[in-house]
Structure 1
């Protein structure tokens, strides 16, 4: 499940896979903790300018 967390926080998964990850996170403390580590990524990425990505 952990490899999917990046795509999950970026809302880049298909709906069925998104539900599967969400269901798993609801019951897995280990993956839930890993999710919390990357959950802020979208808001942090929004702070970047195009030149920052080069």
Structure 2
């Protein structure tokens, strides 16, 4: 597969054998939901808990 063939919404098999269901990621700071130490706080945990696939 070349970079042109890759789609973000398709699974990606890593050399270690792990399969990623997609290549979309969300950083805690993108929603300003981190604490003073830049760690995710409960607001982000709550937000992400509702967005997990079944």
Normalised by the length of structure 2, the TM-score is 0.29
Name the TM-score, length of structure 1 as normaliser. 0.29
Task: Tell which has more relative contact order, 1 or 2 (C-alpha 8 A, sep 6+).
Answer: 1
Larger radius of gyration: 2
